[in-house]
Chains A and B, each alone.
Chain A
Amino acid sequence: MSARPLRVVGHPVPRVDAIEKVTGRARYVTDLTLPGMAHAKVLRSPYAHARVRRVDVTRARARPGVFAALAGADLTWCDPYYGPAYRDRPVLAIGVARYEGEPVAAVAAVDEATAEEALELIDVDYEPLAPVMTLEEALAEDAPLVHAGQPPAGHFADLSTLRPRPGTNICHQFQFARGDAAAALGGADVVVEDAYRFPPVQHVALEPHAAVAAWDETGALTLWASTQNPYSVRVELAKMFDVPLARIRVVVPHLGGGFGSKTYAKLEPLAATLARAAARPVRLAASVPEAFQTVRRCASRVAVRAGFRRDGTLVAVACDADYDVGAYADIGPRVVQKGTYTATGPYRVPHVRLEARAVYTNTTPGGAFRGFGVPQLAWALESLFDVAADRLDRDPVDLRRQNFLAHGEEFAPGDTPIDGKLEESLSRAAEAIGWTRAPAADRGRGVAAMLKASVAPSVSEAIVRLHADGSVTVLASAVEMGQGTRTVLTQIAAEVLSVPLARVTVVQPDTAVTPYDQTTSSSRSTAMTGRAVQVAAEDVRDQLLAIAAQNLGVAARELALADGAVVAPARRLTYPEALALKFGMSGGELIGRGVIAPGRTAAPLGGSTPFWEMAVGAAEVSVDEETGAVRVERYVSVADVGRAINPLLLEGQDEGGVVQGLGHTLLEEMLYADGHLLNGTLLVYRVPRADDTPSELECHFVENADGSGPFGAKGAGEGSLIPVSPAVANALARLTGVRLRDLPLTPERVWRALRARSPRA
């Protein structure tokens, strides 16, 4: 049966929700209205760090049209703290505000204008405190502390590994070692080292965060939220309000982009708190500037040393990485340890010492962002790899190829062996960019590679229902956020059950209806949720085969599904016929169940990655030497995906990843001065536009069906972003002789570096 050609999997079918999206009919959280719904507005701290001595909301509360006005001190009737790593974040500041934009008070009122006017009636008595805005300031001796005490652990699976350093701003430290890096570096023929910086950047999802919360008369809570992981949000709310999980329902309509910004609870705790206080549904929708005050990517400073033998063999890597996780830990500690774990990239390195610190600062909390800590380290290692190639007088492509981990090779004891072919990705990227042919005189080329683990252990469950008319419902909680997961899950169910795509409906995530799924992140949905859907559909298939075998008197192994029917060598039983036979009436349905839960393992991070995400990028750039403006003229991305369930969507994902990567590579950085964010609006925070995309942008896929996901698929979607910055900087270095260590490569930064360049021979 497995040799049967695939009908829909592997084909570039259009998105199942394309029409509703392009016609504007797709509904998002902010499109929702409920009877009696109130509108919320948030009063935010104007200071990066301040003692909040008193918040007086009485005048706001008294204003006509106001249903609730809350300050942190009012939240005695719930546990006001949340956070996946540490429960260090209050719904509203309590006693101290730790970053500019932190919610200090909130109002729910009859409309937005009334709510906003009521905010002006709130008096806050702040005592400004000295903030720590940078890693240097936060790590200085006697630095002011962002958090005084040690906050309690959150709900994330491996919280046992959290290691804060009391009395400092370090909220987590991570170490990983193998062999003896110090000795190996001492004995290496060539040692290269440098330090690289990665800026704080915001996700700029088209839809900022939004939530609508409603408590019912039985004390159960329903939340419509723009979240990537409804089940995490549910845990937070259950803890805060001491309500059983079963009485909290999180529903997720379409998301207008996530990129990690909507993982873990964000606005939901405040919306639910206000709804409770106002005793009516409450809608809380952030603006773009407020999204900049909600979450961002963790900035970093990474020092790397790498030792090579004269023949190019990489023998040792030592890496010290500091990540700025902002005012609250969010998932930052996990970002730091996951990123650092693969700091050695896709290379075989016998001697390794990796150390990383997650550091609190008085800035917008840092959290998950496409790549989850890996872009910061790949920026460092992949830049340094080209420095090493220079020193060894080797071609950067050859040097990488020589050191790649092989298919099936161990990455770390207990973790999944390498499940892809890096050399194939690299060869295809090199060929597509024309690596062996000289570029035009005003162009330079560079390459970079990446390796990333997905979250582990993790759980995805799915239910597939076959109805009396032969149509199919898929219940799964992977969130459709533009990446196309709804289409991919539809394809998988349609493939297994041999029905047209139009006969399959994927239900929107709803924790009261769709089963548990850990998170829509970490490039995991196709591989994990998709696999759960496949197993659930196969469960239905096996039930169908059993019914047919019994009724047709044929052994199940001689039966197959085709065109909505079970087919025997001589006979056919349509699904409606099969169900009618089973139930003796035209009602009833078959229910299939799929559970993908690999569990904990002896791997260093507590679980073995379900797949390795692997990709190579190759860039061809030009530079305007007088202004320093860099243009990426051509870019090739090659990702090892096992199998492209939907090549069209995958291409879109990877093109998007490359262009988003160009953002932090060339343009984006959240800039702070005197404790204030200077560019938290789209007028002055510049994301890539259509005219910044390379004139030639190609995305290729290596497909050897060697993944653990459905039909041999692996996850994808983050890989293409990660090599962009080192590939571009390596290209720039080969073109100009100038090596940049700080992102983004803005015109002014490049211009300065070009001016400082010693005259070339």
Chain B
Amino acid sequence: MLRPFTLHRPETAEEACALLAGLGEEAAAYAGGTELLLMMKLGLLRPRHLVDVKRIRGFGDIGLEPLSGRRLTIGAAVTHRAVEQSALVRARCPLVSSVARHVANVRVRNVGTVGGNLAFADPHSDLATLFLTLDASVELLSPRGRRELPLDDFVRGPWETSRASDELLGSVTLTPWASDTAAAYVKFGVHERPTLAVAAALRLDGTTGAGRNGRDRIVEARVAVGCVSLKPVRMAAAEARLTDLSIGDLDDAARAAADAAAAGVDPADDLYGSADYKREMVAVFVGRALRIAAARARGAESAARFPHTVVA
């Protein structure tokens, strides 16, 4: 059950960081509380002070990064629901907006935040997986100032990040794909959190004009697999097998890429399944994600429905 605690509600990042620095181990940042309160109820975490990040100016904003005018910045305290409803996200990163609809359940989405998801670093995170294919970087704020880290460096392993205890996650910035990109996000599992997740994005060459719609060649492939290894990973070997291919040849290549991805993960036996099963499922779902993306490149939506599977 929940033990009594003091709630602090700072309005600036400076105040919040000062509180975290001053209270040390006794304090925790608090956003939607969907993870934090669960941990506290189970007695796994016992902070006496919660520093609410939801009132901090800018933490609830979604906007274009001023510098580039192209990258999309999502404040740490933005809820999954707000991501789902944002017209800007839908315009710049449509897949992020579709995935937001399928994170957790409606109660969690309503209060759970993007920052809370990334900062908690549960190995079964949809966002951390998908964001890897969007060259995401996170902004960290502390009394010492501001720093920016690639997401891959921020997430170190299960429930482990490179955030210092007095640092706040301020926002995450995504690099939208070029417009000629076909993508798919597929996750599979029976529990609340996914057993495995695959994000696949294929950037097509709009200039060659050889195939249908004049977009035939895959100039860049991005494949990320989450929930299976200790942290979400980009599958370089799989990506390499897809690059420079004609989309028409994808079916054969998808199998090779899927096998490469399966060889590249490091699963363990746990409640979500045995290691060999999960490895095999990586191959199955990388293949499926690629085929769905390829179908989308042709302007078609695959009608296939798979049990215990979400396709975004």
Contacts and interface: CB of A to CB of B under 8 A. Distances in A.
A627 B271 contact: no
A113 B1 contact: yes
Contacts of B271: 671, 678-679, 684
Interface stretch (A173-181, A292-300, A520-528, A745-753): A745-753
B274 A629 contact: no
A659 B119 CA distance: 37
Contact of A748 (B1, B277, B307): B277
Nearest to B271: A684
A461 interface: no
Interface string B186-230: 001011110000000000000000000000000000000000000
Which of B2, B190, B273, B281 has the most A CB atoms < 10 Å from its CB? B190
Which of A627, A684, A686 has the most B CB atoms < 10 Å from its CB? A627
A678 B192 CA distance: 15
Contact of B284 (A113, A626, A630): A626
Interface string A740-760: 000000111001100000000
Interface string B114-154: 00000000000000000000000000000000000000000
Given A667-B190, A683-B191, A686-B191, A624 B306 contact: yes
A631 interface: yes
Contacts of A747: 190, 307-308
A748 B273 contact: yes
A113 B2 CA distance: 7
A189 B18 CA distance: 84
A671 B4 CA distance: 33
Interface string B9-37: 00000000000000000000000000000
A112 interface: yes
B274 A748 contact: yes
B307 A629 contact: yes
A187 B190 CA distance: 47
Interface in B223-274: 271, 273-274
A624 B287 CA distance: 14
B107 interface: no
A722 to B, nearest CB: 23
Which of B3, B284, B308 has the most A CB atoms < 10 Å from its CB? B308
B193 A629 contact: no
Contacts of A355: none
A682 B309 CA distance: 19
Contacts of B284: 626-627
A683 B308 contact: no
Contacts of B190: 667, 686, 746-747
Contacts, number: 51
A30 to B, nearest CB: 13
Contacts of A682: 192
Contacts of B280: 751
A751 B3 contact: no
A630 B307 contact: yes
A624 B274 CA distance: 18
Given A626-B284, A747-B190, A113 B4 contact: yes
Contacts of A631: 307
Nearest to A630: B307
Which of A624, A683, A746 has the most B CB atoms < 10 Å from its CB? A624
A752 B281 CA distance: 12
Contact of A116 (B3, B306, B307, B308): B3
Contacts of B188: 627
Nearest to A667: B190
Contacts of A622: 307
A112 B1 contact: yes
Contacts of B191: 683-684, 686
A627 B306 contact: yes
B192 A683 contact: yes
Given A671-B271, A748-B273, A751-B277, A627 B3 contact: no
Interface string B272-297: 01100100110010000000000000
Nearest to A755: B280
Which of A117, A629, A631, A679 has the most B CB atoms < 10 Å from its CB? A629
Contacts of B4: 113
Interface string B155-195: 00000000000000000000000000000000010111100
A116 B4 CA distance: 12
Nearest to B193: A683
A751 B2 CA distance: 41
Contact of B308 (A112, A113, A629, A684): A629
Contacts of B274: 748
A629 B1 CA distance: 36
Contacts of B193: 683
B291 to A, nearest CB: 12
Interface string A627-641: 101110000000000
Contacts of A41: 1
Contact of B306 (A629, A667, A746): A629
A112 B274 CA distance: 40
Contacts of A683: 191-193
Nearest to B43: A116
Nearest to A744: B190
A500 B284 CA distance: 61
A682 B307 CA distance: 20
Given A746-B190, A747-B190, A627 B1 contact: no
Given A113-B3, A113-B4, A116-B1, A627 B192 contact: no
Nearest to A752: B277
B158 to A, nearest CB: 15
B278 to A, nearest CB: 9
A686 B105 CA distance: 14
23 contacts: A112-B1, A113-B2, A113-B4, A116-B1, A117-B3, A624-B309, A627-B284, A627-B306, A627-B307, A629-B308, A629-B309, A631-B307, A667-B190, A671-B271, A683-B191, A683-B192, A686-B190, A686-B191, A686-B192, A747-B190, A747-B308, A751-B277, A752-B277
Given A624-B307, A629-B306, 17 more contacts: A41-B1, A112-B1, A113-B4, A622-B307, A624-B309, A627-B307, A627-B309, A629-B308, A629-B309, A630-B307, A667-B190, A683-B191, A684-B192, A686-B191, A747-B307, A748-B277, A751-B277
Which 4 A-B residue pairs are closest in the complex by CB-CB distance? Answer: A629-B307, A631-B307, A748-B277, A626-B284
